[in-house]
Amino acid sequence: MSKQNVQPHGRIIIRKRVKELMLEKVDINRSKMFCSKPGPRFAEELPCLLIYFTDEIEDTQKIVPRNYKRNLNLVVEVQIATDATPENFANENNLDITDSYEEIFLDSRAYEIERALGADRFLGLPGLVEDVVMIRQQPLDIDYDGEVSASCLRTFWDVQWRDAIYDETRLDEFLNFNTKYNTTDGAEAEDSVVIREE
* Res 127: pLDDT: 84
End-to-end CA distance of the chain: 13
Burial class (CB in 10 A: 0-12, 13-18, 19+), 153: buried
Give the type of residue at 162.
Answer: R
Whether 189 is covered by a domain: the verdict is no
Q: Residue 156: helix, strand or coil by DSSP?
A: strand
180 within some domain: no
Q: Which stretch of DSSP H or E encloses residue 115? A: helix 101-118
Q: Is residue 37 part of a domain?
A: yes
**Residue 50 is part of a domain; what is its CATH number?**
3.30.70.1700
Does residue 136 fall inside a structural domain?
yes
Cβ–Cβ < 8 Å for 121, 135: no
Confirm whether 198 is domain-assigned.
Answer: no
Residue in 28, 18, 21 with CA at minimum distance from that of residue 161: 18
Confidence (pLDDT) at 60: 65
With respect to residue 154, please indicate whether it lies within any of the assigned structural domains: yes
Rounded to an integer, what distance in angstroms lies between the CA atom of residue 182 and that of residue 180? Answer: 7
- The helix/strand/coil state of 71 is strand
Series of mean pLDDT values for 10-residue runs along the chain (198 residues): 61 91 94 78 84 83 70 94 63 57 91 96 92 95 79 95 62 53 58 49
In a domain, 24, yes or no: yes
Instruction: Note down the domain range covering 18.
Output: 3-168
Strand partners, 182: 188
Split into its structural domains, the chain has a count of 1
Residue 163 in domain: yes
Alpha carbons 98 and 86: distance in angstroms, whole number: 8
